[in-house]
Amino acid sequence: MDDPPPKGPEAVDLAIKRALVTRLFRHPAWVRLVAGRRETVRGRQVHPAYAALASLEKLARRIGPAGPRTPTSERRQLALGSWTVDAEPPTGVYGEDLTLGSDGELPTSIRLYTPQNVRSQPGPGLLYIHGGGWVVGSVASHDVLCRRLALGTGFRVASLRYRLAPEHPYPAAFDDARRGFQHVVAHADRLGMDPRRIAIGGDSAGGHLSALVANALRDAGPFLQLLIYPGVDLTQSFPSLRDFGQGYVLEAEKIDWYLEQFVPPDVARDRPDVSPWFEPDLAGVCPALVYTAGFDPLLDEGEAYARRLTEAGVAVTYRCFEDQIHGFANMAGAIDVARAAVDTITGDLRSALEGSAS
């Protein structure tokens, strides 16, 4: 279910926060003031905009301490946050909600984004799977990002609605992602896509699900995988979880909570169909675009997974945005360096899609 827009006092509060954030990030001197002293970790510092954002979050917690953490409260918090820092959708993209499938099977619900500059004949497309720790997030929370991807590439993007934990724990989201990709391929003509040239991608948990689908459907699967700060090791074995697990918006304690909601106690987290990192043989997996953030608890696993794909003979484009944090792709409306990073990702994706179209 998509997040309902705010009303009444909530709408007023959101409008005030959006105005303050927008004005703050237009003035670098203000940003540096709010950011305060930045710690050097692994020889680098986080961009002042993200340090300022973290300071504002700390201040908000002091003013109004959060209540008990529940899926409902976390979903609303993410929705309001996305409307605050990436609220203005780009023009020139048409969105349409569609249902795909056939009798006797669970249907697939998507929002199809068609840019005005799209080619008339069927062309490459992308199935996008939103992030949010498998618990929060929605098509609505990633609407602006998907519009940016569609407009920047000139190709259609289908954003997937999938079942969330804890109401629907693993493997529900994986099943929905795999079936969703197969439905998009089966209905490619209706969507204006070439079934042989459909990519799959997502951010964070969506990157995790995209990698699982790419591994599972090697013979008749996506021709490209787009992984934006993906979580690929659900056993949490990489050191960046410790180095960047506090003070950079996404914190280790929240990741633990997400995983508790998503993975049932009787499911081993080192299974290859749970954690892509533990897939023993990555040969034959489709080419990958992999992106990480330098101040992200998931940094090391994303970088290591890109390296393993390369060693397996997979064509990989890998970039680390060293001064950025987890979630930057949803902050492009307010933070210039986030917008620049999204533009880079979109450019890489456009080149990959255009190459497949030639």
Q: What is the pLDDT of residues 87-100, one digit of tens each?
A: 678 899 999 999 99
pLDDT at 42: 95
pLDDT band (50, 70, 90) for residue 64? low
Per DSSP bridges, beta strands 225-228 and 288-295 are: parallel
Dump pLDDT digits (tens) for 185-228: 999 999 999 999 999 999 999 999 999 999 999 988 999 999 99
pTM of the model: 0.93
Q: Which of 225, 220, 194 is nearest to 209 (CA)?
A: 225
What's the CA gap between 168 and 252, in Å, rounded? 23
Rounded Cα gap, residues 335 and 21, in angstroms = 9
Q: What are the residue ranges spanned by the domains of the chain? A: 8-85, 93-357
For the cut 70, the answer to whether the pLDDT of residue 331 exceeds it is yes
The closest alpha carbon to 336, from 350, 321, 317, 349, belongs to: 321
List phi, psi (to 5°) of 231. -95, 110
Res 184 pLDDT > 70: yes
Residue tagged 């897939």 (tokens): 279
C-alpha distances in angstroms, 268 versus 1, 128, 165, 172, 173?
29, 27, 17, 16, 16
- CB-side exposure of 65: number of CA atoms within 13 Å? 2
Size of the chain, expressed as the number of residues it contains = 358
DSSP, collapsed to helix, strand or coil, labels residue 136 as coil
Contacts of 159 (CB under 8 A, 6+ apart): 110, 111, 112, 113, 128, 130, 139, 142, 143, 146
* pLDDT for the residue numbered 22: 74
Burial of 68 (0-12, 13-18, 19+ CB in 10 A): exposed
- Other CB atoms within a 10 A radius of the CB of residue 251 amount to 17
Residues belonging to the active site: 204, 296, 326
Query: Residue 356: its pLDDT value, please?
Result: 65
Note the pLDDT of residue 224: 98
Q: Which of 137, 150, 129, 155 is nearest to 212 (CA)?
A: 129
CATH code for 93-357?
Answer: 3.40.50.1820
Work out the average pLDDT over 47-68. 78
Q: Are 244 and 297 in contact (CB under 8 A)?
A: yes
Contacts of 197 (CB under 8 A, 6+ apart): 123, 124, 125, 223, 353, 356, 357
Residue 140, pLDDT above cutoff 80 = yes
Residue 316, pLDDT > 70, answer yes
Arithmetic mean of pLDDT, 70-79:
86
Buried b / exposed e along 43-53 (16+ C-beta atoms within 10 A): eebbbbbbbbb
Count CB atoms within 10 A of the CB of residue 92. Answer: 11
What's the pLDDT at 14?
A: 62
DSSP bridge partners of 289? 226, 317
